[in-house]
Amino acid sequence: MAGKAGGLKGVALIGGGANSPVSGALHFFQEPSTGYTEVRGKITGLAPGMHGFHIHVFGDTTNGCNSTGPHFNPHSRPHGAPFDEDRHVGDLGNIVANKDGVAEVFVRDLQISLIGPHSILGRAIVVHADPDDLGRGGHELSKSTGNAGARIGCDGAEIWNDGNDVRCSGSFQDY
Ligand SMILES: [Cu+2]
Ligand SMILES: [Zn+2]
C-alpha cells in the first residue's frame, strides 16, 4: 500500500523519558508525486534556543539514546545542513525552542523517505541538547555530528510503519 493516493502519513507522540522532560507530537507525511517528506509538530520541555534534530541509524533504544547509533548516512557523506546536497540523509538541522521551551517543528525534506532503500522506518529520531552547527562550526565534531551535544528526548524513538501510519515506540508512542 506504500505510495498509494494520499501519501504516507503517521504520527509520533513523544513522552518524557526517565531523564528528559521533553514531550510532544510529530506528524509525518510523504507526498508520492513530489517525493517530499514533511515532519510537523510541536515539542515542549526544551531549553530555549536551537537543538540538533536528526534521524539516527538504529531504532534500538535499549540503552537509551546511546544505542541509536550515528546519523543515518547511507551515502557515506560528511555531516551537513538540510539544504546541502552533500550531507547525511538524517541531517534535519535544528529545531528552535522559544523562551517557554516550545519548538514548532516544520521540516520539508527530499532526502528522508518513508519508503524505499533510504527509508527512515526502523530508525530513531533524536533531539539534541545543543545547536547543530550544520558542519560549519570548525569543531572536530562538526563534520560528523554538527557538535550538537547530548541526545535528549529519544528514549524508544523507533519509527515504524503500520499500514500507512508511521508510529514510534517508547517515548514516541502509539496514538
Ligand atoms: Cu542526532
Ligand atoms: Zn549528520
Ligand 2 centroid to residue 116 C-alpha, Å: 20
pLDDT per position as a tens digit, 122-174: 788 888 889 999 999 999 999 999 999 988 866 445 565 544 444 443 333 22
Ligand 2 centroid to residue 40 C-alpha, Å: 20
Mean pLDDT of 15-31: 75
Q: What is the pLDDT of residue 94?
A: 96
pLDDT per position as a tens digit, 83-127: 999 999 999 999 999 999 999 999 999 999 888 887 887 788 888
d(CA 118, CA 113): 6
Q: Label residues 13-34 b or e (16+ Cβ within 10 Å = b).
A: bbbebeebebbbbbebbbeeee
Task: Report the SS3 class of residue 49.
Answer: strand
Task: Classify burial at 55, counting beta carbons within 10 Å of its beta carbon; exposed 0-12, middle 13-18, buried 19 or more.
Answer: buried
Known catalytic residue at 54: yes
Mean pLDDT of 4-23: 65
Whose grid coordinates read 530513531?
A: 124
Known catalytic residue at 165: no
Mean pLDDT of 63-68: 77
Which-ligand-closest: CA of 79?
Answer: 2
What single DSSP character describes residue 67?
G
Ligand 1 centroid to residue 57 C-alpha, Å: 10
Task: Report the SS3 class of residue 14.
Answer: strand
